[in-house]
Amino acid sequence: MSNPPPPGAPKWDDTRSGAWPENFADVDIPSRRDGEIQKAYLFRATAKRRPLVISLHTWSADYTQKDPLAPLAVEKDWNYCHPDFRGRNNRPEACLSPGAVDDLQDAVDFARDATGADAENVFVAGVSGGGYAGLGAYLKTSGVKAVLSWVPISDLEAWYWQSLSRGGHYAKDVLQCVSTAAHFDAAEARRRSPLHWTPPAGPLPRLEISAGIEDGTTGSVPVSHSILFFNKMVRHFGRGSDAVDERELSAILSRGLPDLEGAEPIEGRAVKFHREIEKLSLTIFQGGHEMLPRHCFQRLETLSAP
């Protein structure tokens, strides 16, 4: 069923669904945690052993949400899955709960096996609330080569207060996720925040974080969420000198950066800042709270190359 977007919702949290093409199967994925059925849309590539992308719905949506990566998967003949992982983030069962995190792993495993995908080329991509879930998948999901996270939320506690100060409906959603009463449970918000999770001791997939420099001004998630998570991970990898420093952070947040010299625009957008170490990158582009879908898929194709 098609639902109107929440009041004031940005383009990238539009919950309206559409009629999915017949070549996308509506499938059931049983949860190994509690037996609940996770719904998903699945596309099987026509060629054998093609890559797979798990594309994640946004904060206020579910698996029926329109997704600009879906037609690109068909165009490129990629396997594709659009899972539900407990649906909209306005109740405790969702919002990177243990059940939602397990659902992400279930979706990866199910889609890989059901499509016969190339197990060495399995990717996760998401924008906004999907970028938030992508950070969760990055830290807690196995069998993934890379995660592409666009304008993610990384710290629910901070985002609650940021949203509340703007009078936005997202603060109410967070409250419904983390609290059993009307008071805000900061400890539970941190438990659902990838910024506060301990990275695993073993190897991690590649992570590419992308954010529009205007987000938090014209959009709903301050760009600081992307920067702070990037800094967390470069320090985890022992590369603290590559963290975004105070001067750089101030320039980004004040939106005073010139275009990055020598950087090619992405979908016509100037790149304002880019930093990369092995298996981790941060790109700040001229834009707001959004994904650039064709560039995202181009990155997937590049990363899937032998």
User: pLDDT tens-digit profile of 7-19?
Assistant: 444 578 888 767 8
Look at the alpha carbons of 12, 57, 105, 293 in this order and tell me if their dihedral is positive or negative: negative
In this prediction, residue 19 carries a pLDDT of: 82
Q: Which domains does the chain possess?
A: 23-153+203-304 (3.40.50.1820)
* Mean pLDDT lowest among 30-34, 91-95, 179-183, 276-280: 179-183
d(CA 3, CA 62): 11
Query: What pTM, to 2 d.p., does this model score?
Result: 0.96
Confidence of residue 306 (pLDDT cuts 50, 70, 90): confident
Percent of the chain with pLDDT over 70: 96
Q: Supply the DSSP string of the chain, one letter for each residue.
A: ---PPPTT--GGG---B----TTEEEEEEE-TTT-PEEEEEEE--SSTT--EEEEEP-TT--TTB--THHHHHHHHT-EEEEE-TTSSSSSTTSSS-HHHHHHHHHHHHHHHHHHT--TT-EEEEEETHHHHHHHHHHHH--S-SEEEEES----HHHHHHHHHHHT-THHHHHHHHH-SSSS--HHHHHHT-GGGSPPPSS---EEEEEEETTTTTTSSS-THHHHHHHHHHHHHTT-GGGS--HHHHHHHHTT-PPPPTTPPPBTTBPEEEEEEETTEEEEEES-SS---HHHHHHHHHHHH--
pLDDT in tens, 172-194: 999 999 997 788 999 999 999 99
d(CA 127, CA 211): 9
d(CA 201, CA 134): 19
